[in-house]
A and B are shown apart, each in its own frame.
Chain A
Amino acid sequence: MADTGEGRKGKPMEDMEDMEDIEDMEDAADGFIALDGLEKVFDVRRRVGAFRREKRRVRAVDGISFRVARGEMVGYIGPNGAGKSTTIKMLTGILTPSGGRVRVAGIDPSRERARLASRIGVVFGQRTTLWWDLPLIDSYRLAQRMYRVPDARYRANLERCVELLDLGALLDVPVRQLSLGQRMRGDIAAALLHDPDVLYLDEPTIGLDVISKAKVREFLRDLNAEHGTTVLLTTHDLQDIEQLCGRVMVIDHGRLLYDGPPAGLHEVGGSERTLVVDLERETAPIELPDVPDVRVVRVEGPRQYLAFPATGSAAPLVARVAAAYPLVDLSVREPDIETVIAKMYVEGATVPEDRTTV
């Protein structure tokens, strides 16, 4: 992980200079968020022997470039330690990039963090911005003061969030007494009271039950559709991406592996879904010579696991199995994101350079 990035070290200077021309075109439709060869390098000291310490460079973000247009809803995924949160931290200005450049709404985040803050909203699934010991409403009053939201607008936004996120009964409840799902909805509302142009969500559905997940997704979809809020979300849940995002970016080891529609991810990753069938009795492994690309991967008594390409539909397969075998029950398992990415990474499936800067 230390220095795999030799090849990318010398990002051509001409590229950088070309970028200067486009600089600060704040509302240029195709570059509301713009990253060019963004890098973040950490020096990590590691102990070797009793007294000696070795300095090691870790390239957490290793030359990432992309554009996000205003009103886009983009998924940003990758395994743990891929560099997702580091990217988000540079986008919010908490971390200063080691190299390359980043602009959000024409603003250099680390240099003008305070000015940018009023235009972005941030939700961390694993942390809360709310005031732990006080009723939810106090956190919202605080947000109003902090972002200097005029009273009328504050009331309107609060009303909308309370209604859509179902917070009415919770406003007077101390945050520490909220369930995780309630707290997450409370956090999302807190991030939106000042009408941010961009919303960053860091694993917004982590740990939530199915109903809470659905509520959060529905709200985000409406927010994006009605207010044109640009949304960048990181997640480990492939369903978040499939249900919300028209575009997904995959990173690993600090580099962009894929940038395109979620469906294409399965194509590039060559991922497979699994059809689990329960038969009436144990039989020999299912054989369907006329359905291509299907194979039995596991047999557990009367239960059999069939892998088929994630790009195809399960319907014809199900029909064929039902016709030829004594079918009792079935379910379809989606490939999880880690597997897809792991596969992509192993196979070295990378997108052509020009597609990474769409």
Chain B
Amino acid sequence: MRLYVLVATGSLRRYATYRVATVAGLFTNIVFGLIIAYTYVALWHLRPHLGGYTLPQAVTYVWIGQGLLAATAIMGGGFEDELAERIRTGDIAIDLYRPADLQLWWLAQDLGRALYQVAARGVVPLFAGAFFFDLALPVNPLVWAAFLLAVLLGLVVSFAIRYLVALAAFWLLDGKGAAQVAGLAATFWSGMLLPLNAFPGLLGEIARALPWSSMLQLPADVLLGTRGGWGTLGAYAFQAGWAAALLALGRLLQAAATRRVVVQGG
């Protein structure tokens, strides 16, 4: 266990060394936040209470999304590129002979990265949003704690999906295409473009049942308090269920991959 804590803190420190990247990322978050938030303002004027959100809640949702964008790696930028690259070049051989579990190793690494990005890329966009708009943020610290737990579970689900995508490199030999498709899918199904609550009819039902809703929609709902106490527990159960299922699937795929491993390049 201490090994994986060390892996996570190492990964956190590693991302912390790239300060310019962090600042550039924050700038992007704020610009995109402004664009999407003003779009929502227009949309909610036409359709008030779309998806059950008031305008301040909808705008808050935008800034939560920008704050979590880096941490959840919804549009990519997590460990998956590195893992796929290691599979492609054959460096994966080094990871395989270590007396450590491959999946836990990368989970620890990705959580370390995500924790850094929650802190470094999560707080500033919320302040920026509060500067430009009227936000519906709670004052109760317990709600914030509940939110952070939902974020953590969402990060695990996000990891589990990207782990599957990265392992595809064992068969595809180049993981870039798969990563791009996965990034597009995550951007849409996570609710990064539009809250899943606002999706109509069957599409909405499907979107809310898919694992991507764990990453942004559910944590945002917990923070906005739109689900109530039991709803929060339900959100946790939903997230934990998907996390367990996807991690288990990842283990199966990992076993299949390492059985057929033809380490490339030597």
- Chain A: residues with CB nearer than 8 A to chain B? 42, 85, 89, 92-96, 113-114, 117-118, 120, 122, 124, 126-129, 131, 133-134, 138, 141-142, 145-147, 174, 202
A171 to chain B, nearest CB (A): 15
* Residue on A nearest B95 in the bound complex, by CB: A129
The 6 tightest CB contacts between A and B, nearest first, are A117-B99, A145-B3, A133-B14, A92-B97, A114-B99, A94-B96
For B7, the chain A residues whose CB sits under 8 A away are 142
Which of B2, B7, B262: most chain A CB closer than 10 A? Answer: B262
Given contacts A127-B90, A133-B17, contact A142 B262 (CB under 8 A): no
B118 to chain A, nearest CB (A): 20
Which of A94, A122, A124, A142: most chain B CB closer than 10 A? Answer: A94
B192 to chain A, nearest CB (A): 28
B98 with A131: CB separation less than 8 A: no
For A85, the chain B residues whose CB sits under 8 A away are 266
B6 with A94: CB separation less than 8 A: no
B10 with A117: CB separation less than 8 A: no
Count of A-B residue pairs with CB < 8 Å: 59
A141 with B6: CB separation less than 8 A: yes
* Residue on A nearest B266 in the bound complex, by CB: A85
B263 to chain A, nearest CB (A): 6
For A142, the chain B residues whose CB sits under 8 A away are 3, 6-7, 10
A126 and B262 alpha carbons, distance in the complex (Å): 17
A187 to chain B, nearest CB (A): 10
* Residue on B nearest A132 in the bound complex, by CB: B14
Which of B55-96 touch A at CB < 8 Å? 90-91, 93-94, 96
B19 interface residue (CB < 8 Å to A): no
B178 interface residue (CB < 8 Å to A): no
A121 and B266 alpha carbons, distance in the complex (Å): 18
A160 and B98 alpha carbons, distance in the complex (Å): 23
* Residue on B nearest A128 in the bound complex, by CB: B94
A124 with B98: CB separation less than 8 A: no
- Chain B: residues with CB nearer than 8 A to chain A? 2-3, 6-7, 10, 13-14, 17, 90-91, 93-94, 96-100, 258-259, 261-263, 266
* Beyond A42-B262, A146-B99, 7 extra complex contacts between A and B, CB < 8 Å: A85-B266, A94-B263, A113-B96, A118-B99, A131-B14, A134-B10, A146-B98
Given contacts A85-B266, A134-B14, contact A127 B6 (CB under 8 A): no
* Residue on B nearest A143 in the bound complex, by CB: B98
B99 with A145: CB separation less than 8 A: no
For A113, the chain B residues whose CB sits under 8 A away are 96-97, 99
For B14, the chain A residues whose CB sits under 8 A away are 131, 133-134
A78 and B96 alpha carbons, distance in the complex (Å): 25
B263 with A95: CB separation less than 8 A: yes
Residue among A120, A127, A146 making CB contact with B100, cutoff 8 Å: A146
B263 with A145: CB separation less than 8 A: no
For A93, the chain B residues whose CB sits under 8 A away are 97
A95 with B10: CB separation less than 8 A: no
A124 with B93: CB separation less than 8 A: yes
Residue among A89, A120, A129, A134 making CB contact with B13, cutoff 8 Å: A134
- In the complex, 19 of the A-B residue pairs with CB atoms within 8 angstroms, ordered by the A residue number, are A92-B97, A94-B93, A94-B96, A94-B263, A113-B97, A122-B94, A126-B266, A128-B94, A129-B94, A131-B14, A133-B14, A134-B13, A138-B13, A141-B6, A142-B3, A145-B3, A147-B99, A174-B17, A202-B266
A127 with B99: CB separation less than 8 A: no
A127 with B97: CB separation less than 8 A: no
* Residue on B nearest A84 in the bound complex, by CB: B266
A341 to chain B, nearest CB (A): 18
A89 with B10: CB separation less than 8 A: no
B3 with A146: CB separation less than 8 A: yes
Residue among B2, B13, B261 making CB contact with A94, cutoff 8 Å: B261
A131 and B13 alpha carbons, distance in the complex (Å): 11
For A174, the chain B residues whose CB sits under 8 A away are 17
A96 with B94: CB separation less than 8 A: no
For B100, the chain A residues whose CB sits under 8 A away are 146
A117 with B93: CB separation less than 8 A: no
A117 with B6: CB separation less than 8 A: no
B91 to chain A, nearest CB (A): 5
For B2, the chain A residues whose CB sits under 8 A away are 145
